[in-house]
Amino acid sequence: MRFSTLLSASLLFAATVTGAPIVETLEELEERASVDFFKPTDKGGSLLDQSAGLGEPLNVIISGKSSPEVLTKDGFNNYARAVGYSIECFGQHRGDPQKANLGDGHGYSNEIEVLREHFSIPVLGTCLESLKGGNHLRMWQQNGPDANSGALFLAVSQEEDIIEHHDIVPDGYNIGRDRFVDGALGTKVFLWKKYTTTVVERRDLIVAAAEGVNHGISQDGVVKVLTVTVKNVWE
């Protein structure tokens, strides 16, 4: 059997067992890993999700050039725990899922995950966030037939406490994005995995404005693109 055939088969098996989307050939895998993301607006998508008739900015992107295991739901959740976020309090979520169109051929699709700041408190930390407010995020993946980068698009914001119905704080989209990114940069460790994160700012993806934005809160038009590399801690 040719080496390239063996390599393709190995990559297919690895994608299957880690939960990553399966690709059919080595060439497709290399093509997918060659781009950070595809610009959603090029194919009818938007950098605003749909929320109560308006939208929240998709202000952080996890690049398709990141380590493949980060670009799966479980892998992203582990990464998020390393940088300070986890699943909602006892897995409970209130409210309808928000939708986003990433221009990948799937149209408007439901969020894949909602995570909250855990304040370095195992299990109960996100319950504290639900009570007193803090950062939270929603996640979608660009993996459709028209734009299969594998990149993860996040809507990150800082919200009020439960008494204020978790409304977004003034300037909460910019604040939430920057707090998430600042907490992610550099090297973090979780469950014997070491995550190294770098950032590039993009100012050409969304217009700086409050128009069309949920709660009428202005955002500065900056989208931060993170590239995450994963290694075992003993490497």
Res 154: pLDDT: 98
Ramachandran angles phi, psi of 124, nearest 5°: -95, -5
Q: Are residue 26 and residue 47 in the same domain, yes or no?
A: no
What type of residue is 28? E
Q: Which two tokens stand for residue 131?
A: 């009570």
Res 78: pLDDT: 94
CA dihedral angle for residue 196, residue 143, residue 58, residue 163, rounded to 10 degrees: -90
Q: Is the predicted pLDDT of residue 123 greater than 60, yes or no?
A: yes
C-alpha dist (Å) from residue 124 to 49, 119, 131, 137? 29, 9, 11, 17
Asked if 80 and 174 touch (Cβ cutoff 8 Å), the reply is no
Maximum distance among all Cα pairs of the chain, rounded to whole angstroms: 64
In whole angstroms, give the CA distance from residue 235 to residue 232: 5
Q: Are residue 26 and residue 121 in the same domain, yes or no?
A: no
Q: Which of 105-114, 131-140, 220-229 has the lowest mean pLDDT?
A: 131-140
Q: What is the mean pLDDT of residues 118-134?
A: 64
Q: Are residue 155 and residue 71 in the same domain, yes or no?
A: yes
Regarding predicted confidence, which is higher, 232 or 11? 232
Q: Are residue 41 and residue 18 in the same domain, yes or no?
A: no
Res 21: pLDDT: 44
Q: Are residue 13 and residue 69 in the same domain, yes or no?
A: no
Res 117: pLDDT: 84
In whole angstroms, give the CA distance from residue 204 to residue 210: 16
Q: Are residue 223 and residue 162 in the same domain, yes or no?
A: yes
What type of residue is 112? I
Q: Which two tokens stand for residue 189?
A: 């460790």
110 falls in which pLDDT band (50, 70, 90)? very high
Q: Are residue 2 and residue 76 in the same domain, yes or no?
A: no
Res 116: pLDDT: 86
Size (the chain), residues: 235
Q: Is the predicted pLDDT of residue 12 greater than 90, yes or no?
A: no
Q: What is the mean pLDDT of residues 155-181?
A: 83
14 falls in which pLDDT band (50, 70, 90)? very low
Q: Are residue 65 and residue 158 in the same domain, yes or no?
A: yes
Q: Is the predicted pLDDT of residue 30 greater than 70, yes or no?
A: no
Q: pLDDT > 90: what percent of the chain?
A: 59
Total structural domains within the chain: 2
Q: Are residue 102 and residue 149 in the same domain, yes or no?
A: yes
Strand 152-159 vs strand 60-62: parallel, antiparallel, or unpaired?
Answer: antiparallel
In whole angstroms, what separates CA 6 from the centre of its chain?
32
Q: Are residue 43 and residue 147 in the same domain, yes or no?
A: yes
- Render pLDDT for 70-100 as a digit per residue (tens, 0 to 9): 999 999 999 999 998 987 664 555 557 899 9
* DSSP-based three-state secondary structure for 46: coil
Res 183: pLDDT: 95
Asked if 115 and 87 touch (Cβ cutoff 8 Å), the reply is yes
For tokens 């907490």, the residue is 183
Asked if 58 and 100 touch (Cβ cutoff 8 Å), the reply is yes
Q: Are residue 181 and residue 85 in the same domain, yes or no?
A: yes
Q: Which domain holds residue 6?
A: 1-32
pTM, 2 dp: 0.83
Res 65: pLDDT: 96
Q: Are residue 118 and residue 86 in the same domain, yes or no?
A: yes
Assign residue 141 a region: left if phi > 0, alpha if psi is -120 to 50, beta otherwise? beta
